[in-house]
Amino acid sequence: MSYEELLTQTALANEQVIVMTAENRALVRNLPGILGKRFIDTGITEQTMIGAAAGLALRGRTPVVHALAAFLTMRAFEFVRTDVGIANLPVKLSSFIPGFLSDGNGPTHQAIEDISIMRGIPNVTVFAPADEDDLVKMLPQIWESKSPAYTRINTRKTTYIHEPFTPGKAEVISEGSDVTILTYGLLFEQALIAVEMLKSEGLSVGLINMRSLKPVDEQAILKASAQSKLVVTLEDHFLTGGLYTIVAEVLLKHRTTANVLPMALNEKWFRPALLPSVLEHEGFTGKQIAEKILGYQTAHNQPQILTPEFSE
Amino acid sequence: MITVENNNYQELTDTALKVREHIIRMSTDGGCFTGASLSAVDLIVYLYNRFLNINKDNLNNPERDYLFLSKGHDVPALYGTFAELGLLEKERLKNHLLLNDHIYWHPNTKIPGIEFHSGSLGHLPSVAIGVAMDLKISGSTNKVICILGDGELNEGTCWEAMLVANAYKLDNLLFVVDRNHFQANMRTEDLIPLEPLADKFEAFGAAVKRIDGHSFAELDQAFGAFPFQAGKLNVIIADTVRGKGLPSIQERADRWFCNFNADEIEQLLLELHGQHNTTLTSETLVVR
């Protein structure tokens, strides 16, 4: 099922659902004709759209709002925080082209701090599906919840069939004693490739699709840290404030530690190009991920190299 | 709520005087936005007593009118009006700025009758739009009012919201500008000029009326005609005076926020009732 089909089905089944967009109709093109007045396009006005969504939610509606991730989170940040977060209203933020998915757009469109800033707002929950199958398995529960929710929309198709979703629970793909990769969003695809390569090198490899970044599955993180010699956090996000930070917080909260290798964007925006080239250039292909992990394993055995290299 | 015959405004005048008293009494022990809120008293008193279908029995009824106070600094006028209407116990006004209550410098929904929190300017026009849209979708004929400050009109989202209101022909929505001609610290026309303001709103597609915001007769006439143009966002520019009712602080840029001592409060109450014509020399003013 596609995102649009799921949204159509949900909105037809529930009169309270309102679909909104700040003139970003890419994935909701058929909905104006189907939903009539329950489809609201406010034009290129992310802030006003969020405020209006809060007003609609005050009247008992569940607005599912669409805009580009960078503008939904940053242009409208104070509106999300003040109108939706403080009021704790069930506004569902569908954010398009987050992370590397904005590939050729350049830094203005790169939402690589979105997890960080959205999870910083009390009441707002944060989700990041691995692919379209994961997305359509996650969204029904996200939409049914009474909480404000931010979802990184990812409609890429993969061959992986995901488990049913429970908010706050990660999807454990495999467990391993040598290394466990924790990831979310489109890098899940690359992680699958990396896992196969690492396994072919004889390593015992775990992979966890985090799915829900707030609330986060603390037990999955703690278990992976306890049973694997190395934990890798893999994300198309700034190093600060994303999964690496979440893992660090969880470990410290539980007074434990682990060898953690972060793969994220450290103090830099990524070079714009088509997605495969971006991944290659930034070092996030499955092969590069596997090589970096193997390199870290080696480096880790050499005490003089204390920290891995993250940036260019 | 308007009856054409009812053109006796003595009751409203009396209520407005009491609301001004409440505001003065709140202007101590930490203070409040005295000058900023006195300009909106007559407007708010009029709206709750004569225009809005809002009372203490229907605050949670979806079939009520909505008032959104986007100019959060006017909240003492709202609290004073709520106290006079019986939405809020008068005794609770003494809890202003105390931790054991929720009466502080900006509106919040813990106080019955407050529809949405505000304080960050330029937010409630869009929230009001969302409610107005839903009333349209739901087929409800209730009205939505959003009170804006003129200083608040510096915020781009006010104008963004007007574009959207125009696109959606929200004639159940009324923006009311408390046009006291002051920003926080100076006259609007000296900092970010707004005139010709009515022309600006009209250029955004609104139907506009400009009135004396202290004249109940003019308020009655303007609001009574709402919606004065169908299929359009309606706007009332209510020309008001900052600090209205207290000549000693009236029209003074430095009396936006006031924190007076007990003696000064007494003087101001006397001044309000016209028994003295005092001039404040207080240096207790706090600028926030």
CATH number where A19 lies: 3.40.50.970
Of A98, A122, A152, which residue sits at a domain end? A152
Q: What's the confidence (pLDDT) of residue B280?
A: 60
Judged against a pLDDT cut of 60, whether residue B1 lies above it is answered with no
> Does residue B167 register a pLDDT over 60?
yes
Option in A55, A57, A61 nearest B128 (CB) = A55
Residues A178 and A293 in one domain: yes
Instruction: List pLDDT tens digits, range B253-270.
Output: 889 999 999 999 999 999
Q: What confidence category does residue A300 fall into, taking pLDDT thresholds of 50, 70 and 90?
A: low
Q: Specify whether A70 is located in the same domain as A42.
A: yes
Q: What is the pLDDT of residues B121-135, one digit of tens each?
A: 999 999 999 999 999
Classify residue A308: in a domain, yes or no.
no
Between chain A and chain B, the number of residue pairs with CB atoms below 8 A apart is: 92
What pLDDT does A306 receive?
A: 42
* pLDDT value for B275: 75
pLDDT of the residue at A270: 97
In-domain check, residue A309: no
A133 & A69 share domain: yes
A133 with A187, same domain? Answer: no
ipTM here: 0.91
> Which of B115, B123, B132 has the CB atom closest to A83's CB atom?
B123
Q: How many whole angstroms separate alpha carbon B14 and alpha carbon A284? A: 72
> What is the residue whose two structure tokens read 């001004």?
B20
Q: B279 pLDDT exceeds 80?
A: no
User: Which positions in chain B have a beta carbon within 8 angstroms of at least one beta carbon in chain A?
Assistant: 62, 109, 115-117, 120, 123-138, 157, 160-161, 163-164, 167-168
Looking at B60-181, list the stretches that DSSP marks H as alpha helix, in order from N- to C-terminal side: 75-85, 124-138, 156-167
Query: The pTM is what?
Result: 0.93
Across the interface, of B127, B138, B160, the residue whose CB is closest to A54 is: B127
Q: Please check whether residue A165 lies inside any domain of the structure.
A: no
Whether A161 is in a domain gets the answer no
pLDDT at B277: 65
A142 and A252 belong to one structural domain: no
DSSP strand E in chain B: where?
66-69, 144-149, 173-179, 207-212, 234-239
Task: State how many domains chain A has.
Answer: 2
Position A162 in a domain: no
- Cα gap B92→B283, rounded to integer Å: 28
What range defines the domain where residue A135 resides? 3-152
Q: Is the peptide bond before B62 cis (omega within 30 degrees of 0)?
A: no
pLDDT recorded at residue A307: 46
Amino acid B278: pLDDT: 61
pLDDT at B8: 85
Preceding peptide of A272 cis, ω within 30°: no
Is B182's pLDDT higher than 90? yes
> A76 and A126: one domain?
yes
Instruction: Determine, yes or no, domain membership for A310.
Output: no
| CATH number for the domain that contains residue A244 | 3.40.50.920
Q: Does residue A117 sit in the same domain as residue A225?
A: no
Domains and CATH numbers, chain B: 9-273 (3.40.50.970)
Q: Report the gap between the CA of A50 and the closest CA in chain B (Å).
A: 8
Read off φ and ψ for residue A65, nearest 5 degrees. -110, 140
pLDDT at residue B6, rounded to an integer: 54
Q: Are residues A204 and A135 in the same domain?
A: no
Domain boundary among A152, A184, A217: A152
Residues A285 and A201 in one domain: yes
Residues A81 and A208 in one domain: no
pLDDT band at B284 (very low <50, low <70, confident <90, very high): very low
In a domain, A255, yes or no: yes
Interface of A with B (CB under 8 A): 18, 37-38, 40, 42-43, 45, 47-61, 63, 78-79, 82-83, 86-87
Cβ separation of A48 and B138 shorter than 8 Å?
no
pLDDT in tens, A134-162: 999 999 999 999 999 999 999 999 999 99
d(CA B218, CA B197): 19
Query: Last residue of some domain: A95, A117, A152?
Result: A152
> Given a cut of 90, is residue A32 above it in pLDDT?
yes
Q: Do B137 and A37 touch (CB under 8 A)?
A: yes
Q: Do A45 and B164 touch (CB under 8 A)?
A: yes
Asked if A54 and B129 come within 8 Å (Cβ–Cβ), the reply is no
Per-residue pLDDT tens for A48-105? 999 999 999 999 999 999 999 999 999 999 999 999 999 999 999 999 999 999 999 9
A18 and A146 share one domain: yes
Domain membership of residue A259 (yes or no) is yes
pLDDT digits (tens, 9 = 90+) for B17-59: 999 999 999 999 999 999 999 999 999 999 999 999 999 999 9
Minimal Cα–Cα distance from A96 to chain B, Å?
22
Question: What pLDDT is attached to residue A70?
Answer: 98
List the Cα angle B175/B178/B183 in 5-degree steps: 120
| Pairwise CA distance, residues B136 & B29, whole Å | 44
pLDDT-derived band of residue A304, with 50, 70 and 90 as boundaries? very low
Both A136 and A176 in a single domain? no
Cα–Cα distance, A141 to A98 (Å, whole number): 21
